[in-house]
Structures are given as C-alpha cells and as structure tokens.
Amino acid sequence: MKIVLDVSAAFAIITNANGSQNFLDVISQATVVLAPDLFYSEAANVGWKYHQLEDISPEEALRLSETAIQLIDIFFPAEPIWKDALQLGCELGHPVYDCFYLVLTQKQEATLLTKDKKLMKMAKRIDIPVLEL
C-alpha cells in the first residue's frame, strides 16, 4: 500500500502521541511512504513550534524535524502539482498547502495518513482514502 504521510501524523509518530502506534504499524507495512516536498518546511515549522511552546532546545527541534523527514521514502516536487492544489483549494475552500497532500494522494492512488481533522474531512469529501488516529 502507498501512503502519503502528512506532518501531523509524522509528529504524532515521533512524539509517541496517543494512538500513534497504529500509524507506525501502517507505515511499517507500506510499500512506499510519500510526501510533497513542502513537508520539509512544515516539519521545520513544527520543530520551531516545539521549541517555542515546549521550551525544547534548537538542537532538539532539529532532531525532531529530521526524524519526521526520515519517515518519508520519496518527496515529490511541488512544481508539477501546484496548479491542481490551487484549483482544489479553491473548490474546497481549504488551504492550498493541505491540498498538495490531497492531490499527491489522488495522483499516486495512495492512502492519506493524517491526524488533521480538517484535512481528513476534505479527503473524505472527495473520496480519498484516509487513515486517522
């Protein structure tokens, strides 16, 4: 099974959030774990949030972000799908950066793995397979 992993699910896994073992089991059995390349900036931003809100060191924030990034097997560039993501965002009234995950999941005939409730709702709305915590 192909999995598109978003940052919310990745950080749930690496921080051992409640129920994250299910996510870890899924990605362990996946044939490939995919993400759009904007995952890098999102992972860095979440690392920064942990630094700001949880008072972890910059080094620990970097370690968390790197660990999340290492969960991905293949990163897809934004350039070929940005127009589709923008179009979908306009249709759904949903932020475009999330729509990159939706478009990638559609194009790769994959399953989306997320902890983001709004993203789950959008995926279900357009019949994208989604696994949730």
Tokens 């899924």 map to which residue?
A: 26
Question: What are the pLDDT digits (tens) for 74-131?
Answer: 999 999 999 999 999 999 999 999 999 999 999 999 999 999 999 999 999 999 999 8
The total of structural domains in the chain comes to 1
Residue 12 structural domain: 2-132
- Helix or strand holding residue 114 (H, E): strand 111-114
If one counts every other C-beta atom within 10 angstroms of the C-beta of residue 80, the result is 11
Question: What are the pLDDT digits (tens) for 113-123?
Answer: 999 999 999 99
Nearest to 111 by CA among 123, 99, 125: 123
Q: What's the whole-model pTM score?
A: 0.94
Residue 123 · residue 114 · CB < 8 Å: yes
Instruction: Look up the CATH number of the domain holding residue 89.
Output: 3.40.50.1010
Asked whether the predicted pLDDT for residue 32 surpasses 90, the reply is yes
